[in-house]
Structure 1
Amino acid sequence: MGTMPDDEATRRRRLFDDELVGLDPDDPEAQEFADHLNRMQRADPAFTVEGSLRGVADFAEGSTRASGLRWWTAVLIILLLLLGVVVGAWDQLSAFVTHLAG
């Protein structure tokens, strides 16, 4: 059987002990860097549902921290994705109605 995932405090403590030696674990900037380093080193498969959801969660978390042009870029990406979903749904719905009528 697999092991249980570590809680956030244990993971961060291990990261500061192993890779961020010399940085203050209580410093907010060092904590943000540790979180960034953890996201960069994570090698989850992106082709699974869990991996896809984690990617969406990372994007959402990053876009909430962004400001200025990065925030507007994230909003534009989200709007384009929603537009694609609406156009695809409309196309499928119109094809279904045509099939029922014909």
Structure 2
Amino acid sequence: MTTDPDRSPRFDDDLLGLDPDDPEARAFAAHLDRMQRVPSCSVEGYIRGVGDFAESANRLRGPQRTAAVAVTLLLLAVAAWVIANAAGVVLATWAG
């Protein structure tokens, strides 16, 4: 018996009766996999979380997409502010 490497094992347990070749069923299985993933408090975990946010934001339309873009820009602005302040402290310490 040949097994499909893209086939989620969820079709054997949680999604019995659904067609594993149906794109919507595959998307639902992928969604369940993402929901069950344990968050990791590591750099890799944070990067994976950012990737999940980006994938979700790319699927959005209308005002929800605008809100996702606004949140992203706000986070980038805060990161730039923190980096600028840290560089200022380092330079002030080094110079003085």
When normalised by structure 2's length, the TM-score is 0.82
Q: Does 1:65 align with 2:59?
A: yes
CA distance in 1, matches of 2:52, 2:11: 22
Structure 1: segments with no counterpart, 5+ residues: 1-6
Q: Which residue number corresponds to residue 4 of structure 1?
A: none
CA gap 1:8/1:84 in 2 versus in 1, 3 angstroms: farther
CA distance in 2, matches of 1:97, 1:32: 50
CA gap 1:57/1:41 in 2 versus in 1, 3 angstroms: same
Q: Which residue number corresponds to residue 33 of structure 1?
A: 28
Amino acid at match of 2:25: A
Task: Give % identity.
Answer: 46
Count of aligned residue pairs for this structure pair: 93
Deviations 1:7-44 (A, max 9, x none): 9524x1x211211111111111111111111111122x
Residue number among 9, 25, 46 corresponding to 2:6 in the alignment: 9
CA RMSD of aligned residues (A): 1.8
Q: Does 1:19 align with 2:7?
A: no
CA distance in 2, matches of 1:64, 1:98: 41
Q: Conserved in 2, the CA contact under 8 Å of 1:16 and 1:25?
A: yes
Q: Does 1:48 align with 2:48?
A: no
